[in-house]
Each structure stands twice: as structure tokens, then as C-alpha cells.
Amino acid sequence: MGEISEEEDPVLVSIDPVSRTVWPGFVWIRLSFDVQTERPNQNWIVVVIFIPIDRYPWAETPASSSVQDRFHPRWLQPDNPASGYSESAFPAAERTTMDPWEAASIRGHRTEIVQSLRVQDVRSYMIQEGVMDPEHFEDIECERTRALKVERFLDILATRGPRAFPVFLTALEDFGYPHLADMLLRAPTDVDGCLGGVVLLEDTIAKCRENLKKRYLSEYGWIQPIPWNPAFRLHLDEVYTNLAIVEGKRRSVSADCMDKSYSFQEEWLFDDGPSCVLVEGPAGIGKTMLCHKIAYDWAQGTVHSLKKFKLVFLVEMNKISFPSMKDVIVKIIAADEAVDDEVEAIWDFVSSNPEQILVIMDGLDEVRSPHKAKMAESFSKSPLRRAFSLITTRPESNCPLLRSCDKAYILEGHTVETLSKFIKRYFREDRASADGLLQRIRSNTPLSGIALNPLNAVFLCALWEDNQGALPATLTQLYSTLIECLVRRYFERIGQPCSEAELVLADVRNVLVTLGQVAFRGLEENRMVFQEPELEDIPNLIHVGLLAQDTWARRLSQRPWRFLHKTIQEYLTAYYLAESEQGFTVEQFAKVIPNPDMYMVCIYLAGLLKDRAHYFFETWKEVREKSELANNLCLSCLHECAPHGELVEIVLPSFVDDGSFDVTTKLKNRFYNIPTNYLRPVRHVDRGGQVDRR
Ligand SMILES: Nc1ncnc2c1ncn2[C@@H]1O[C@H](COP(=O)(O)OP(=O)(O)OP(=O)(O)O)[C@@H](O)[C@H]1O
């Protein structure tokens, strides 16, 4: 490292605004030094020196005079030659974010600024100096009150790079707020008296990072493949299978239009600059697992493209209520008691350094409907918009936030090879069981379709292990067999073994209906979590194992319950609609069918109704809009109830066929046992709203 003497030419010394931090009797200067050229340079080694104030080379005033007199913010502006802040010594391009000291100063005096500033007084100057754009002020003007406008202004300011602070100081000084400028130049209260806010902040961020990593390693390192069997745990590395994924430019493009299918690599998501990446896929396809794997890999430090992130926040969208994105992140930070007091400082770091942050938002479809628009707005206004972000959702979800996505991927689940690998890993030593199940899946076309979904694959393994007997041919059968299996185990545990499947389910039918009603209410409110009093009437079922308590809520006196998986909540909702008198009504069906949040419910409902499914399809014909998504859903519903000709005839006019979706062929391929006279071509050509129903 080069020596820095007191004789060093001060103009060549690049002075960071941090140097304004003053200890009694000393000036603290942070110097950057290029080892090779021995010329100061922002990129190289940073040296912090303390110079007695009376020997400070620029000191023109006695040591007793105020610091501000000697360290005027204007000195730090590029156009002042006396500042030593020349473009060559301190190129703006080399610093892209606000200095942490400055961020801390604004944060420490935020209340005072919010109390007295009127944003319009500094508007012109901030625009003139190129620190903010007119669009920023349009955005600020949308806030209702003066104080909220200042809050918004300060949030934006924190993201406007290294010149933002000095320019703001000058604006304050020249346009009626010199007292605020003076105040900002004093060390803010939260870093006062410490060895500089920078060092402290770095420590805080490191602490926060380590704690997040610990949390992800312990929470996501082990998985419990069978939700109702806590004793059976596998390590993520052991069980995680690389699923197929396709890349596209935007969402809702059908997989055939997208680039070829890959075996997924995390690098693709985060190799480019900050962007918002969408991963879309149906129920149980592995979106949550992918999010856990990314958080886990970041914590392990094994994946190169994740190393650039100082902090990674995994947001489970169904667990939060939204005042704002800031509140969501702050809550995650505050969950760690060790950094409880420093939450605001960490948030400031996040706001000022979004390119070092990854936000994973898992399950956008699970955000409650009234919050969707608010959340999208809050995200677009928040500094996190410039962070890396990954959003997962089911395809049927519709949320304005999806418009913010720059890239889209569709998770397709297992390939034949990965399924085989997964099943062998699941059964580990028991090769015979693995081979037996694989054999059964290969020889049964409907089953092999079901098994490519990772959640279904897990359930099939569990069923195979349990009875090595009949395997389901439809999704509905898979879930009813699973529930039967759980109920049977429950009766065995309490000493009342029961062999007949029908008897098992008949015994608990009423309880399942009551539970289904709770599940339905939950879905209507987009809610996965239930409090104990809501479940008072169904205590038995809690022990059956369809519900589990959140581990994160261990400290709460009343720990909330949730279904083992959202698909189980959806199946039970369908059970309630199919089996109860209040559920089985045209009004209920008419409410459920057009609701995108009830996509899976429709599939199970058709499967449970079977011979009574014509009520469902008659209603479908009346209420469901025509779209490709609706076409696919209708085909899945038909598949579940093994349709006969009349059923297909009822629903045929509901399909939209604009040439790209050949209904007749699709129906023929899927339901080959239906006489073709029921499948006469129905061509709907939708041009300018004219639908031809020949
Ligand atoms: N990559 C994978 N490797 C092995 N098993 C997986 C994988 N992905 C998912 N699974 C299994 O499937 C289950 C369901 O996956 P996950 O909860 O991630 O689905 P999801 O797409 O988030 O579903 P939903 O939209 O219903 O919330 C997991 O608990 C796990 O057992």
C-alpha cells in the first residue's frame, strides 16, 4: 500500500463525503489509493486517517469554529475546483449509490425534515441539477398530504446516487431551510459517537446477512416430503430434482411458443442486471421449493450468480398483509431480534443499494384480491423495483404486479428422467418399491401424466408405500385416496381400525364437509391461515393430519393452523361444494366457476360430482367466459369426471375455437371412448366480438 503523508497534495486526494464526520479535535478523511500508480483513486484501497483539525490542510479558520464553515457541501460538488472533487479524481460513474453516512444522516433527521420541508421549494433545483426527474415529482404529487409527499421525496432521494445528498443540502440552504442543511451535516443520532456510521452499518448488514442465512439453512435445508409424516425428513440436496423449465419473453404464452425446455439453472435468473423475473406454474409444480432452494443456495454460498447479493429476502405472499413493500421487508428484518434496533438502517441500505438485494416473492396468486393493486403500486414505487426480484405464481392468477416482470419462465415439473430419479431417491434402499411404482406409472397413461407434477409424485410414492395397491387415475382420486389413507391411519392410532374405504370416509363425511366449509371461506378471502376458534367444531380432523401448525409461530400463545398444502384446502373446498346441501347449488357453482382463484377447485369439483356433473357444466356454459385458459380448465374438468357423450355435448358450446385451439381433435384425443357424433365441430370464430355458433 502506498504511504500517505500529510504533504499529500490535497487536490489529488479524493474526499468522500464521509470525511465530514468529525471527532472532537480531528477530521476524519477517507482516502482511496491506487497501489500501482500511487495516485488516489476511488476504486482501490481505502484508507481512513484522522488528522488533528488544526493541521488539516484546508483549514482556513481556527479549530474552534464550526465544522460546517470548513466543510461546505458545495466543496463536494464537481463544479468547484477547490473541492478536489474533480471528475478525474472522483468519477461519478464509479460511485452509483448514496454514501451510507449520508443515508444515515437523512434517516436520523427524517422526522425534522418531514415536519418542516415543502417539496415544491426544492423541486426546480433538484431537477435542474439532474438529481431527480419531473416524473419523480409527479409521483410525489400523488401523495395526499404534505408530510407524505416529503416521505416519498426522501425515499426517492435515497436512490438517486452519490450527488443526491450534496445537491439536496444546497437546495435546503438556498431555498429557505439552512437549519435543515446544518442539521444534516451533524452526525445523526444513531451514529453519533461511533467510529463512523459506515463501519457500524457494515457490521449491521453483516449481522443481518448471517442471521438470514442461518434462518434459510435451518428452515429450508430439510424437507418433509410427506406433510403428515414429520419423522420422515430428507435433506434438500438429497431430494431436490432439477425440474424442466421453459423461457419466454412474457407470461401466459403457451409452452409450445416458448424456447426449448431446459433443466433449470439458477444462473439464468440472475446473470443479467437487476430485473424482475416471473416463474409461473400450476399447483404443486415446485415453485415454493424452487424459492427455498435459491434462498438455501445463497445461504450456502455455493452458486456463483447468487454471491453478488448482500441480502436475500424470501417473502411468503400468503403470510403477509400489505401496507407497503417496505413494511413487508422490515418485518422480515425485524423477525431477527439481534438487529431489532437497526431495522431502519438496514432498510436504508436496501433502498440505497437495490442492486445488491434479491427479493423472492413466492405465491403471488395467494395475495388477497383487495391487496393486489395496492401491492403492485407499492412495489413499483419502492426502491425494490430496482432490485433483483423473483416472483412465482400459478398461471390463472391475475395481478397488476405481473406487468413489472421483464422475463418469464414456466416451470413444467418432472421429465420422465427426473421423475425416475426422484422416485429412486425417495425409496432410497428399497429398490423393489421404486421399480414397482415406476413400472406402474409407465404402463398407465393417465397416471404418468399426473406423476410429472412433483407434488403428485410425492403423494403417489406415499400411497405406494402405504398399500402397494390401487393407484388413482385422476387428480380427484389421488386426493380422495390420500385423505382416506390419513383417516384410516387416524382410526388405527386411536385403536379403531377400519378396513373398508367407504366406511372410513362415511364416518368422517360430516367432519370433512365442515372442514371444507372453512377451507372455502379461506379461499374466498384468499387466506391459508386459520385461528383455533374457527376450527372449534372439527377437533378430530386436526389430529387426522390435514392441518398443521406453523412452526414459525411457536412463540405465539395461539398458533394458527394451515392446510398441509394449498391443494388440500382446494380439494376440501370442492368436497364441501359437492357434498353439502348449502354447497351444491347453482348459485355456489356460479360463484366458483368464473373465479380464477378457484381454478383447482373446479377440477376437483367435477371429479367429485361425477354423474351429477351436468349441473356443474350447465352452469359453466352460462357463466364462464371463453378463453384459452377456460378451454384448458374445461378439458381438465371433463377428464376428472370421465365424461359420457351428453356431458361433452352440454359444454361444447363453451369452448372458444379460433383456429389455434382445435377443440374437436383435443376432445377426440382425450376422450376416445366418446362417440364422435357428440363431437361435431363447433366453430367459434371471434371477430370483433361476433361469435359464430354453428
Ligand atoms: N424440484 C423438486 N424436487 C423434488 N421434489 C419437489 C420439487 N419441487 C416440488 N417438489 C415436491 O412437491 C411439493 C410441492 O411443491 P411446491 O409446494 O413447491 O409447489 P407449488 O408450485 O409452490 O404449489 P402451489 O402453487 O400449490 O403453492 C414439495 O413439497 C415437494 O415435496
pLDDT tens digit sequence for 618-644: 999 888 887 878 888 888 898 898 777
Type of residue at 87: E
265 Cα distance to chain centroid: 18
ipTM over 0.95? The verdict is yes
Position 504 scores a pLDDT of: 58
Position 571 scores a pLDDT of: 95
The contacts of residue 272 (CB under 8 Å, 6+ apart) are none
Position 252 scores a pLDDT of: 44
Tell me, using a 6 A CB cutoff, whether residue 281 lines ligand 1.
yes
Write the residue with the smallest CA distance to atom 4 of ligand 1: 240
Do 100-192 and 201-413 show the same overall fold? no
Type of residue at 336: D
Tell me, using a 6 A CB cutoff, whether residue 236 lines ligand 1.
no
Centre of ligand 1 to C-alpha 284, Å, is 5
Centre of ligand 1 to C-alpha 174, Å, is 58
Which atom of ligand 1 has the smallest separation from the CA of 411? 21
d(CA 162, CA 589): 58
> For 353-396, what is each residue's pLDDT tens digit?
888 899 999 998 888 777 788 888 888 888 888 888 999 998 87
Q: Which overall architecture, per CATH, does domain 201-413 show?
A: 3-Layer(aba) Sandwich (3.40)
Tell me, using a 6 A CB cutoff, whether residue 455 lines ligand 1.
yes
d(CA 475, CA 467): 18
Look up residue 677 and give its three cell numbers. Answer: 357424433
> For 252-296, what is each residue's pLDDT tens digit?
444 443 444 555 566 666 766 667 888 888 888 889 999 999 999
Centre of ligand 1 to C-alpha 46, Å, is 47
Enumerate the domain spans of the chain. Answer: 1-95, 100-192, 201-413, 598-679
Phi, psi of 316 (to 5 degrees): -90, 105
Tell me, using a 6 A CB cutoff, whether residue 458 lines ligand 1.
yes
Per-residue pLDDT for 548 more than 70? yes
Tell me, using a 6 A CB cutoff, whether residue 567 lines ligand 1.
yes
Write the residue with the smallest CA distance to atom 13 of ligand 1: 455
Query: What percent of the chain is modeled with pLDDT above 90?
Result: 17
> For 68-115, what is each residue's pLDDT tens digit?
333 333 333 333 333 333 333 333 334 467 877 788 888 888 888 887
d(CA 133, CA 14): 28
Look up residue 459 and give its three cell numbers. Answer: 403423494
Tell me, using a 6 A CB cutoff, whether residue 239 lines ligand 1.
yes
Residue to mutate, 289, 397, 414, 421, ligand 1, most ligand atoms under 8 Å from C-beta: 289
Q: How confident is the model at residue 46 (pLDDT cuts 50, 70, 90)?
A: very low
Look up residue 684 and give its three cell numbers. Answer: 367459434
> For 108-163, what is each residue's pLDDT tens digit?
888 888 878 999 999 999 999 999 999 999 989 888 888 889 989 998 998 888 88
**Region of 161 on the Ramachandran plot (φ > 0 left; ψ -120 to 50 alpha; else beta):** left
Tell me, using a 6 A CB cutoff, whether residue 240 lines ligand 1.
yes
**What number of other Cβ atoms are within 10 A of residue 130's Cβ?**
11
d(CA 53, CA 26): 5
Residue to mutate, 288, 315, 415, ligand 1, most ligand atoms under 8 Å from C-beta: 288
Query: Which CATH number is associated with domain 100-192?
Result: 1.10.533.10
d(CA 572, CA 591): 17
**Average pLDDT in the 499-521 region?**
77
Tell me, using a 6 A CB cutoff, whether residue 286 lines ligand 1.
yes
Q: How confident is the model at residue 540 (pLDDT cuts 50, 70, 90)?
A: low
Per-residue pLDDT for 645 more than 50? yes
Tell me, using a 6 A CB cutoff, whether residue 394 lines ligand 1.
yes
Pairwise pLDDT comparison (28 vs 426), residue with the higher score:
426
Tell me the three state secondary structure of residue 359. strand
